[in-house]
Chains A and B, each alone.
Chain A
Amino acid sequence: MADTKEKSESNEKPKPRIRPIVRLGIFLIAHSFLVSVVCCTAGVLALFLLPVLAKNTYISENALMPGSASPMLANQHVLEGNRLVNDLTSSNLKSSETGIESQRIIARYMLDLGAEASIHKFHRQLNHFHPLHFFSSPDSGIIEENYSCSSYGINTVGIIRAPRGDGKEAIVLVTPYNALKSGLGEALSIGIAYSVFSLLSQVTWLAKDIIWLVADSRYGEYAAVSAWLRDYQTPKFSSLSTLDAEMCPDIDNLYDLKVNSITGSKFSSSFKRAGTMAAALVLKVRNKSDQFEDTISIYAEASNGQMPNLDLINVVNYLAVHRQGLHVKVEKLWSLLNSSWLKILGEIFESLGKVAKSLNPKWKFGITATEYVEGTATLASSLYYQALGLPTGPHGAFRDYQIDAITLEILPKFSSDKVRHSDILLRGGRLIEGVIRSVNNLLEKFHQSFFLYLLTSPSKFVSVGVYMIAFALLIAPLPIVAASLYVDASSLGNCSKSDKSTPSASLDTDEHSITIGSWMWLNSAKLVFLVHLWGAIVSLIPYVICQIPDCTPTTSFMIWVLLSMLSFLTLYSVLASPLSCAKASQEKEWALVKSVTISSVFIGLGLMSVINFATAEIGALLMVPMCLLARPLKLDVRAGTLRSFSRMIGNLVLGLIAFPPAAFFLLKGMLDGFGSVNVGAFWIWVESLWAWNSATYLFIGMVHLPCWVLCIHILLHTC
């Protein structure tokens, strides 16, 4: 449109100057194809460059001072930890209903240290789909009335009050423990926590209170921690269920402990609190591992791709590597490690880096090919877990309350003798002690370092300023292409009528066509809006399906598909049919639909990038090519050239891949092998998404799926 305007105006001699920025815009719109190709390639390339651009982590907050004090955890504490481990493992053998017994042992040990011990009872909360609870604060939700004693979990909580502290802040140490079937690993994690706890009960440097939560993980680790946090942050004062709890006989047994004769510290059933939480560490020990050296793996992703402050990871990494000599790792996508194309890419980057280094020794962006492959695998898993929006461990519950938390999983070197146990206790304990000491030094809450980052290795990260570039490049062509499509559609619509008329006449029809054109897009917008409405309905349907009792995932998924198709048809027949008759007159209607679709996708992706960057990035990788390429198949078939044929193939492949279930199955098949894929898996996956209030679910339902449907609509367009 602007193009024609310019054309018509160029004939008139005294041409008003157009502002350069407008001219640049017009230029870009005119060259939209080139721009989109360049931008998309650059976007993908920038994504692959991220491991190269990753920076080394550094401890940003000076107050942390990790490792500045020598560890005080001595053999004596380790011995005590070992004693507890032995007690726990032997009591497991002794009695069958150990559930309460081991809690009692732990509580007694806590009391012996002079700590305040208390128990926290919680109900298992079933995951329900609450359509309106997305993004809402994690409040207590709905408590069901009829709980039986069997569905109780019991957390044991020990608190050390800082002797000279003011009790305004606290550090939380969590060890998940399943009393019913605990392995040696869980007992060891309790042992480590206890040895640290016994040290901390004696030290004089504590400024923050220490809370040790032994989370009863019989209903899952996350459930126990989040139940405790819920009661900590948003307690209910008027609840009937707590009255029921007292009736359960086995819990009452715990109250026998009452007063410890030695330290005078009391065991209480009431909920104990200690100030605002500064940080939380979840500690796990994996029982069976095939590591060749003692390894610690760090899990940091919380719900909706939220990450704890990078400083927390830095401190753990620094202390583990430089003080305790542990090997630190973060999650990787293992399947990527062996992929040859990544290796080739890595070698290319390596040689490029070498050339650059030979040109100027100060340019140090070269990394070796193996480093690159590992970095990419880590980055991919970092992106993947952030995009899922599910927490990777119990630490996720803390992030919901803006508390920085990570899960540390210690993978001991494979061995079974007792000496190894105390070695693990000593090194793990010293690591935890160091981290707690660092956090204890902290005057302010974590705020210095990054919150938005992707890890490429435990000591390397890509900050938001770098990774946003890739995403921005990917979505940059969207508005340009949308504008150019709109211009084309509205101009070509009337070009046929007033093809070679005089400039003055064309000016008239031009204005006329503008008015028509400005109305034309409303139809497409209506269509796009309806499809998005349908997307919203589809994402609400699981709420209904959840109410159906005894549904296998496969049947639920089938019902979901059927219901969504049904709703689509109803919506189409009721609302979209008048649209189709209007469409008949418009042969360029598909271009307008595509233009509006692309703009809506742009808006959706832009919004999502604020909520959860990784989801937006992966969504953009899938959707941007599909949106940009989409073109009615009929046109391509009619053209019959090689180019249009290849475009058709590309369209079909993209249309298949970008369908959310298809993308899921493909990804799943690539990661786990195609044998394990079944239809119900998608339902389970989606269920987990809404159970964790993941924004990814909303994104898929309200941005991705409508966009896919619209693209298919364009592909199948009759023109």
Chain B
Amino acid sequence: MKKAKKQEEEFNEELLLKPLPDRKVLAHFHFRSSASLSTSNGGHHHLFPKAISQLVQKFRVKEMELSFTQGRWNYESWGGFDPIPSSNAKPPGVELWAVFDVPQHQIDASWQNLTHTLSGLFCASINFLESTTTYSAPEWSFPPASGNLRYGTLPREAVCTENLTPWLKLLPCRDKAGIAVLLDRPSIYRGFYHSQRLHLTSTGSGSEGMVSGIILEQTLTVVLQPNSQRAGMAYASERHIQPSWSLTSIFGKQVSGTCVLAKSSNVYLLLDRGLVAELEHLHKENEKSAENGFTSQNFWTKPSFELSADPDRIFIEENSLHSKGSSVLYKFQVEKYSESEPFDLSLTWKIPVVWLSQQAPLHASRFLMGSGNERGAIAISLKSTQLSEGFMGANADDERCDLQVNVFQVVPWYVKVYFHSLQVFVNQQPKAISDIIEKIHVSPSKDKVSPGVMEMVLKLPCKVNSAALTIEFDKGFLHIDEYPPDANQGFDIPSAIISFPNFHASMIFLKDDSVNKSPLLSKFQEKSPVMSYTEALLVPLTTPDFSMPYNVITITCTVFALYFGSLLNVLRRRVAEEERFLKEKAAKKTGRLSLLLSKLSAKLRGRQWEPPSSPPASSSFINAKLVFKVILVAGLAVGWQYFFS
């Protein structure tokens, strides 16, 4: 019992709001539950979802992350350097990775069971990740690098409310109280980006495989457009000001109190570095012109925008590395609000402001080259984002400054990649692979068994403008029953992961004590490498014509009939006997058909051709009497028809 007391079950709920440069708002929900696992309570918990703890214990999951995403994270305008995009921007569809604490040979079995369990838990087709062709085992390029890692994605999985509901069921208050009340389905799914994530970490004692504690982090990241376009495009003045928004205007709901089970319940408003720098700049200009004399202290309390509620605390980022400025965080405690006085944060801009989000050092995009059904190439192009120069300067002093880039790419087996055809271009010049690639690990695909995996560490010069990697592939053929439904759409190549180990997406805030209490902020302080996902690709493969089974059946039947017919003919026929039979027949001189045939053969031998009265082939078979009869009947029929119509 003492042990259990030492590690109380805990639940925290937090929401982070952040205005984005392109008139949108990012909302990031962060729910964290932690529990100590011990059999003393009989495997029961107060807050922690039992399904998750059972899953962790059964499959000995050390760490796991499952994400459902709809839409694409716009790295260019929503940024790619902060902790939020770096850990919450996910590829479309489902992504799952897990680290197991089991012996090497059991990992695959554990993974397969895990996928089925998750599939049931989240009403999604995660069980398709069971097949060995869909998951891979990255060696070192995937950030939580470890040998026991399995990674799989389903780019085509449609994400909707049926996936959200089981996710919400894991929360102690579901969406009935606390911050989760804001999760109004229509407004969430109206957004431009929607990613729900579930991250599990278990801290095991390891000795007996007993897990001592689990931390479950559930995050939901949505990018929403505040609907302020009621005035239309007509007013030019209004168009320049960023849209003002409030919780009610973007979610249609407000927070009326905390979830009573939550230990802390906070809402944050984050202004990122670019925005703060821009505001400071504007502020200084104002100072110069008006000489009003704001001090830098009250700058943040009287900014160029208005908040409906006073923040409980303001954090300013403590970071000297970024010359751009430091981000500012406003904290609001939901505990102070109640049913009668609901919390409805709103932000109203007073002056127009334009800023840019901070980008990852290189912007990665991936695309297909070539056309046709035979072959093609995958290209990953890395473009320098000029904005990163500032903090690149810090370590640009030494001569050989390198920018390290990790590339992790999984390619399904039917896209047969030729790894020897890898080409590297830096600043539009072809480079030798050994110059650029420091480390490479390739596991070629096996047909119908495993996908191809490529892990690379690139060392690019710091002053790189653009870099490109191309690799050629052949398009494979699938067996007819391996085609998925809607095969004519093409086949997906899952997103590649580009990470920059030299750069850490972290925000460090000075105010120590309260920061550590907040799981979200402590998450921000973690030093995790900057990561970005490339686009998923669609490869058109040759597909058989599924829509014409009739033709296939007809052709197959014809071929079979011809084959068996001739086979039987050969087997059955005896030449000598046939001749004897013929002779007998000739002696008897009976049979109408034989008479006709003999007539025909006589004709073939005799005259060259007859005057073309009717098609030659038919005329010989049918005698005049029959023709006359047929014509008579046909004429009668025609006359009958004509007369009565």
When A137-B372, A237-B470, A261-B240 are in contact, do A444 and B604 touch as well, CB less than 8 Å?
no
User: A669 interface residue, CB < 8 Å from B?
Assistant: no
User: A263 interface residue, CB < 8 Å from B?
Assistant: yes
Pair A238/B604 contact, Cβ less than 8 Å? no
User: B401 interface residue, CB < 8 Å from A?
Assistant: no
Interface segment among B205-213, B284-292, B524-532, B607-615: the answer is B607-615
* Complex CA distance for A443 and B490, rounded to whole angstroms: 10
B156 to nearest A CB, angstroms?
8
Pair B604/A30 contact, Cβ less than 8 Å? yes
Chain A residues lying within 8 Å of B579, measured Cβ to Cβ, are 14, 16
Q: B70-81 CB contact bits vs A (8 Å, 1 = yes)?
A: 111010110000
B194 to nearest A CB, angstroms?
8
When A114-B22, A238-B429 are in contact, do A445 and B490 touch as well, CB less than 8 Å?
yes
Chain B residues lying within 8 Å of A401, measured Cβ to Cβ, are 371
One of A24, A167, A443 near B72 (C-beta < 8 A) = A167
Chain A residues lying within 8 Å of B138, measured Cβ to Cβ, are none
Pair A14/B536 contact, Cβ less than 8 Å? no
Pair A359/B369 contact, Cβ less than 8 Å? no
Pair A264/B604 contact, Cβ less than 8 Å? no
One of A233, A239, A242, A265 near B22 (C-beta < 8 A) = A265
* Complex CA distance for A7 and B579, rounded to whole angstroms: 19
Pair A273/B23 contact, Cβ less than 8 Å? no
Chain B residues lying within 8 Å of A26, measured Cβ to Cβ, are 604
Pair B605/A17 contact, Cβ less than 8 Å? no
B381 (CB) vs chain A CBs: closest residue: A237
Chain A residues lying within 8 Å of B539, measured Cβ to Cβ, are 276
A28 to nearest B CB, angstroms?
8
Interface segment among B335-343, B451-459, B637-645: the answer is B637-645
Chain A residues lying within 8 Å of B379, measured Cβ to Cβ, are 235, 237
Chain B residues lying within 8 Å of A34, measured Cβ to Cβ, are 609, 612, 616
- Consensus secondary structure, chain A interface: loop
One of B192, B537, B604, B609 near A168 (C-beta < 8 A) = B537
Pair B71/A165 contact, Cβ less than 8 Å? yes
Pair A166/B92 contact, Cβ less than 8 Å? yes
One of B23, B429, B642 near A263 (C-beta < 8 A) = B23
A372 to nearest B CB, angstroms?
24
User: B578 interface residue, CB < 8 Å from A?
Assistant: yes
A278 to nearest B CB, angstroms?
9
Q: B606-634 CB contact bits vs A (8 Å, 1 = yes)?
A: 00110010011100000000000000000
Interface residues of B in 572-618 (CB under 8 A from A): 575, 578-579, 582-583, 601, 604-605, 608-609, 612, 615-617
* Complex CA distance for A322 and B446, rounded to whole angstroms: 52
* Complex CA distance for A315 and B108, rounded to whole angstroms: 49
Pair B371/A164 contact, Cβ less than 8 Å? no
When A237-B468, A443-B489 are in contact, do A161 and B371 touch as well, CB less than 8 Å?
no
Pair A168/B538 contact, Cβ less than 8 Å? yes
* Complex CA distance for A204 and B71, rounded to whole angstroms: 12
A18 to nearest B CB, angstroms?
9
One of B155, B192, B547 near A164 (C-beta < 8 A) = B192
* Complex CA distance for A275 and B638, rounded to whole angstroms: 62
When A161-B72, A444-B489 are in contact, do A233 and B369 touch as well, CB less than 8 Å?
yes
Pair A204/B492 contact, Cβ less than 8 Å? no
Pair A402/B371 contact, Cβ less than 8 Å? yes
When A243-B428, A275-B535, A360-B641 are in contact, do A262 and B92 touch as well, CB less than 8 Å?
no
B70 (CB) vs chain A CBs: closest residue: A164
Chain B residues lying within 8 Å of A33, measured Cβ to Cβ, are 609
Q: A624-640 CB contact bits vs B (8 Å, 1 = yes)?
A: 00000000000000000
Chain A residues lying within 8 Å of B642, measured Cβ to Cβ, are 358-359
B381 to nearest A CB, angstroms?
8
Residue in A17, A169, A400, A401 with the greatest tally of chain B CB atoms within 10 Å: A17
Chain B residues lying within 8 Å of A445, measured Cβ to Cβ, are 488-490, 540
Interface residues of B in 424-453 (CB under 8 A from A): 425, 428-430
* Complex CA distance for A359 and B636, rounded to whole angstroms: 12
When A34-B616, A166-B536, A239-B428 are in contact, do A263 and B22 touch as well, CB less than 8 Å?
yes
User: A448 interface residue, CB < 8 Å from B?
Assistant: yes
* Complex CA distance for A167 and B535, rounded to whole angstroms: 7
* Complex CA distance for A262 and B72, rounded to whole angstroms: 22
User: B367 interface residue, CB < 8 Å from A?
Assistant: yes
Chain A residues lying within 8 Å of B70, measured Cβ to Cβ, are 164
When A33-B609, A137-B370 are in contact, do A76 and B232 touch as well, CB less than 8 Å?
yes
User: A38 interface residue, CB < 8 Å from B?
Assistant: yes
Interface residues of A in 355-394 (CB under 8 A from B): 358-361
Please give the number of chain A residues whose Cβ is less than 8 angstroms from any Cβ of chain B in the complex.
62
User: B368 interface residue, CB < 8 Å from A?
Assistant: yes
B92 (CB) vs chain A CBs: closest residue: A166
Chain A residues lying within 8 Å of B575, measured Cβ to Cβ, are 16
Pair B371/A237 contact, Cβ less than 8 Å? no
* Complex CA distance for A273 and B365, rounded to whole angstroms: 9
Chain A residues lying within 8 Å of B425, measured Cβ to Cβ, are 237-238
User: B93 interface residue, CB < 8 Å from A?
Assistant: yes
User: A234 interface residue, CB < 8 Å from B?
Assistant: yes
* Complex CA distance for A279 and B371, rounded to whole angstroms: 14
User: B321 interface residue, CB < 8 Å from A?
Assistant: no
Chain A residues lying within 8 Å of B71, measured Cβ to Cβ, are 163-166
A274 to nearest B CB, angstroms?
9
B586 to nearest A CB, angstroms?
9
* Complex CA distance for A443 and B379, rounded to whole angstroms: 25
Chain B residues lying within 8 Å of A31, measured Cβ to Cβ, are 608-609, 616
A463 to nearest B CB, angstroms?
13
Chain A residues lying within 8 Å of B55, measured Cβ to Cβ, are none
User: B176 interface residue, CB < 8 Å from A?
Assistant: no
* Complex CA distance for A358 and B638, rounded to whole angstroms: 10
Chain A residues lying within 8 Å of B578, measured Cβ to Cβ, are 17
* Complex CA distance for A7 and B606, rounded to whole angstroms: 9
* Complex CA distance for A579 and B371, rounded to whole angstroms: 48
When A34-B616, A238-B429 are in contact, do A359 and B371 touch as well, CB less than 8 Å?
no
* Complex CA distance for A448 and B547, rounded to whole angstroms: 8
A238 (CB) vs chain B CBs: closest residue: B430
Chain A residues lying within 8 Å of B536, measured Cβ to Cβ, are 166-168
User: A23 interface residue, CB < 8 Å from B?
Assistant: yes
User: A130 interface residue, CB < 8 Å from B?
Assistant: no
User: B51 interface residue, CB < 8 Å from A?
Assistant: no
A114 to nearest B CB, angstroms?
7
* Complex CA distance for A301 and B453, rounded to whole angstroms: 42
A242 (CB) vs chain B CBs: closest residue: B428
B374 (CB) vs chain A CBs: closest residue: A137
User: B311 interface residue, CB < 8 Å from A?
Assistant: no
Pair B488/A444 contact, Cβ less than 8 Å? yes
Chain B residues lying within 8 Å of A261, measured Cβ to Cβ, are 240, 352, 354
A350 to nearest B CB, angstroms?
18
* Complex CA distance for A167 and B77, rounded to whole angstroms: 16
User: B44 interface residue, CB < 8 Å from A?
Assistant: no
Chain B residues lying within 8 Å of A264, measured Cβ to Cβ, are 20-23, 77, 354, 356
A106 to nearest B CB, angstroms?
18
When A33-B609, A261-B240 are in contact, do A275 and B352 touch as well, CB less than 8 Å?
no
Interface residues of B in 182-199 (CB under 8 A from A): 190, 192, 194
Chain B residues lying within 8 Å of A359, measured Cβ to Cβ, are 638, 641-642, 645
Pair B492/A402 contact, Cβ less than 8 Å? no
Chain B residues lying within 8 Å of A718, measured Cβ to Cβ, are none
User: B398 interface residue, CB < 8 Å from A?
Assistant: no
Interface residues of B in 480-516 (CB under 8 A from A): 486-490, 492
* Complex CA distance for A275 and B492, rounded to whole angstroms: 11
User: A259 interface residue, CB < 8 Å from B?
Assistant: yes
Chain A residues lying within 8 Å of B486, measured Cβ to Cβ, are 443-444
**What would 5 A/B residue contacts be, using CB atoms closer than 8 Å?**
A137-B372, A163-B71, A168-B538, A261-B352, A275-B535
Of all A-B residue pairs in the complex, the 5 with the closest CB atoms, nearest first, are A444-B488, A264-B22, A168-B538, A237-B425, A166-B92
12 additional A-B residue pairs with CB within 8 Å, beyond A165-B71, A237-B470, A266-B76: A27-B617, A30-B609, A164-B71, A169-B538, A237-B425, A243-B428, A261-B352, A264-B23, A273-B365, A276-B539, A402-B371, A444-B489
